[in-house]
Structure 1
């Protein structure tokens, strides 16, 4: 047991190495995007490097100073701080609007997107909520599981409501994925979860079918046409190749042009708007081909695998909940971002973690990794409690 505890005090260098590889790929992809896209005059590469340094410092702070006790003590304070930041985006002077979304605070030169930070804050708060409920509940019943289900849902829906006011559907979906993942690991019975999520899936499927077969029905129910244009432009982009469907069609062509081995660095056959950000996977697929895309996907799978190993190795429920939330966040980000660029899923504003340009996204994702590294590093202290 002593040897096991000593080994668990070490940093998880496998996770650090994988994240470093992903960040290096991201830096290379952003540099390539700057060669092929003159959409903006800002030097994204330098800014991304700065945010990467800041994120690394945050990881060190989390690992060294936010151990088991500190995370337990500050979980709800961090959650409240995240809600405060989400409200701050609506402030007249501090809040910043971009492309129709009121989602940033700060100045035009230096700003952050609070919703990206809220992901990690929510993970810690839900882990605390689930752990407190589990300690107090001696016997699990449908009633106690329902109470936990409601508490988890309410804690998640509050930030989602604020984020939806910012017209940010993508981040709202990420928070929902975190909630669902942590509900599954919380021990809530399948007799409760299956009908709830089955019903939600049935409603979603029905709405998609109505968008395709009978949009007039949705209009009669009070939906506006622009609200389901995102679905039609996903399923039938050829109907509007110069408008709503243009981004998806260009993305598919750019990725397909890479074929097996890629077209080479800086290949400029197809220009994609936002190819430094949400559509950076088109750089990977176009310049490095199927092989490069597969390498990237494998790295993400290895990262998820290593985080799951941390949860299983240390065997501490509170940390396991945190690891589950981080896995759900990473999995949904990768699935949605890659899926939307190849036409498998609707387009939403979700970046590719560690790869896409964006200071807030980088900080948020590195904060989540910091929580996992802290779990591994500080597990022995928690074992002694």
Structure 2
């Protein structure tokens, strides 16, 4: 690649096209969702367009910083994120109101509610990437001891935001952060002799808990003092129609909407099934009902293309820090998509996780656009030199 190539050639046009397509899908789906139920008369689509504009500005700013600068900023942003989470927890309800049982938002005059955890996810990706690169620089010779120390560092770095988010409480976001940690650990170079036993034990523990909840809940009630009503989310996921009037109301409505869309859907704004929170967490239900299997498949294919592009960006850069950042972003986006779409079709339990770039929400969209800004930056500042082992240049 020519050293003096134009900036226009270094701009990530493929990512721009994908984001533009998500923007169109988001506006169309939200416009349909706001025309039903209690949303009649609300104009979420205009707000979403505004937040996309803010996201474009975030990308424009983010792209001008390179990986060296983000390495230096990683701990500052991480610390700032923790301060925001602490602020949400200790702030009075007039500033940080309780919404749906969680205290996760700041009220910002004129802008609505801002959810700090959406930005903390990206700050954490930068911090974890910094931890790994710094560790490998200081320990060029790998041993099981150095790998275990690295794993401990990553765990401690992740524990602080997870703990603060669980205090809100927000299980969905905590799971996203754990998925980010999992993805980054898998590419961190830590020996599989450490990874396999730990993740195997975690999988066995999770399976065992679900089995006890379903088969022997009395043991959990007796020894862990867990109340029966706390199992309802799992019960309503496994048998939604038994709890159709209560905890599985959203799921039953979502299944009815997507199922009634059949192959090609009912058409734009012809949805007939009322799904609560259709413009946010259950936006895929709107797409499934109005555009059917074909429309849903197109949306899923776009996410596959996005993840493929992010993987390609991670492989093209020779800066390990950039590769880890891309891996964290891939893990975050992939988990969001899998969990959100999975919960609308009963593959996974319901959690309050939005569909990236499509669900309505300023905080989620800005956080994701910041993540995409990092990808733009990696693509923009990366250069290849035919006869040089150093294939990255900081500008």
String of CA shifts for 1:89-127, please: whole Å, max 9, x gaps.
Answer: 121142222121100112464221000111111111111
Instruction: Give the 5 Å matches for 1:47-86.
Output: 47-64=47-64, 66-86=65-85
Per the alignment, residue 175 of structure 1 pairs with 177
Per the alignment, residue 214 of structure 1 pairs with 216
Shift of 1:6: 6.5
String of CA shifts for 1:122-168, please: whole Å, max 9, x gaps.
Answer: 11111111110111112111111111101111111110111111111
Counterpart-to-counterpart distance in 1, 2:18 and 2:329 = 15
Contact 2:381–2:392 (Cα < 8 Å) also in 1: no
1:108/1:382 CA distance change after superposition, 3 Å: farther
Identify the range of structure 1 (46-55 vs 344-353) with the bigger mean alpha-carbon deviation: 46-55
Shift of 1:4: 9.8
Matched, 1:35 2:35: yes
Per the alignment, residue 87 of structure 2 pairs with 88
Per the alignment, residue 119 of structure 2 pairs with 117
With normalisation by structure 2, the TM-score equals 0.93
Counterpart-to-counterpart distance in 2, 1:378 and 1:223 = 52
Counterpart-to-counterpart distance in 1, 2:264 and 2:186 = 39
1:5/1:199 CA distance change after superposition, 3 Å: farther
Counterpart-to-counterpart distance in 2, 1:61 and 1:226 = 47
Per the alignment, residue 242 of structure 1 pairs with 245
Shift of 1:364: 0.6
Per the alignment, residue 392 of structure 2 pairs with 383
Corresponding residue SS for 1:355: coil
Unaligned runs of 5+ residues in structure 2 are: 384-389
Identify the range of structure 1 (309-318 vs 274-283) with the bigger mean alpha-carbon deviation: 309-318
Per the alignment, residue 184 of structure 1 pairs with 186
Matched, 1:333 2:360: no
Contact 1:8–1:376 (Cα < 8 Å) also in 2: no
Contact 2:116–2:363 (Cα < 8 Å) also in 1: yes
Instruction: Give the 5 Å matches for 1:157-306.
Output: 157-220=159-222, 221-306=224-309
Unaligned runs of 5+ residues in structure 1 are: none
Corresponding residue SS for 1:106: strand
Shift of 1:315: 2.0
Per the alignment, residue 135 of structure 1 pairs with 137
**Structure 1 outlier segments of 4+, above 6 Å:** 4-9
Shift of 1:7: 8.4
Contact 1:9–1:376 (Cα < 8 Å) also in 2: no
Superposed CA RMSD in Å reads 1.8
Matched, 1:97 2:92: no
String of CA shifts for 1:294-328, please: whole Å, max 9, x gaps.
Answer: 00000000000011111111221110000000100
Contact 1:26–1:356 (Cα < 8 Å) also in 2: yes
